[in-house]
Amino acid sequence: MPEFPVPVADCFERIADDLASKGWSVQPGALSSELALSLSQACRQLWQSDALTPAAIGRGADLAVVPQIRGDYTRWLDDCPPQAAQDEYLAVMQGLQLTLNRALFLGLDSFETHFALYPPGAGYSRHLDRFKDSPLRTVSVVAYLNQQWQPGDGGELRLHLREGIVDIEPKAGTLAVFMSARILHEVLEAGKERASLVGWFRRRPDNPLFR
């Protein structure tokens, strides 16, 4: 188990509390500015070298690229050249997984994540993060990588909650975490390039709490 500075560990507990009480959590400054900067540089370098590919929606025979619905470009972390910053991010996610399992008994056993870049004009229409044929994605995590983001730049994450709408600014170092199957969300049209790491904790298929 990696050791984490207290602020990061505190933030894991706050996320667990928020998920239990309302199903979503936003933690500005969860990632150190050094880590967010290295990840941001990695994402933008992939983008500039044409190593990101248009994201598709659906699964299997229904898989399709539909930029009007989803306009980002992605690459799985597993498929990127290894980098210390990426390992550090995965270690942080491992710590979060452990805290969520201890606090909420979610039975999370794996984490998959990809870089995502939304060019100006791109967004992602309202959706849930769980596939009909594969119900294992349980907790979604987005780490934002935009050092220069300012109001008016667009690309907010919009949560559609029973209580109303919540917009989250995609600022570098912020983590947004939510229950994949419960929280309807969308990415508002980006006015400027918008970089992030989007990931999902998957649960063990045999977790009895989810039958």
Binding site for ligand OGA (CB under 6 A): 116, 124, 129, 142, 157, 185, 187, 196, 198
Residue 129 or 153: the one with the smaller Cβ distance to Mn ion is: 129
Q: Work out which of 24, 39, 116, 129 binds Mn ion, going by CB under 5 A.
A: 129
Measured CA to CA, the distance from residue 110 to residue 66 in angstroms comes to 28
Write the CB contacts of 164 (distance below 8 Å, at least 6 apart in sequence). none
- Whichever of 116 and 177 has its CB closer to ligand OGA, that residue is 116
Residue 126 Cβ vs Mn ion, minimum distance, rounded to whole Å: 9
User: The tokens of 188 are what?
Assistant: 């508002």
Largest CA-CA distance found in the chain, in angstroms, rounded: 46
Strand partners for 128: none
Burial of 63 (0-12, 13-18, 19+ CB in 10 A): exposed
Q: With CB under 5 A as the rule, give the number of residues binding Mn ion.
A: 1
d(CA 87, CA 85): 5
Using CB under 5 A as the binding rule, whether residue 72 contacts Mn ion is answered as no
Which among Mn ion, ligand OGA, none contacts residue 187 (Cβ within 5 to 8 A by kind)?
A: ligand OGA
Q: Of Mn ion, ligand OGA, none, which one sits near residue 198, judging by CB under 5 to 8 A according to partner kind?
A: ligand OGA
Q: Cα(63)–Cα(57) distance, rounded to whole angstroms?
A: 6
Helices (H), the chain: 6-21, 33-48, 84-104
Distance in Å, CB of 35 to ligand OGA, minimum: 18
Stretch that binds Mn ion, among 8-16, 27-35, 95-103, 129-137 (CB under 5 A): 129-137
Q: Is 156 in the site for Mn ion (CB under 5 A)?
A: no
Torsion sign, CA atoms 181, 99, 11, 39: negative
**Residue 86 contact, options Mn ion, ligand OGA, none, Cβ 5-8 Å cut-off depending on partner type:** none
Using CB positions, name the residue nearest to Mn ion: 129
Taking the complex as a whole, the smallest distance from the CB of residue 7 to ligand OGA amounts, in Å, to 23
DSSP 191: S
186 binds Mn ion, rule: CB under 5 A: no
Find the shortest distance in angstroms from Cβ 83 to Mn ion.
25
Binding site for Mn ion (CB under 5 A): 129
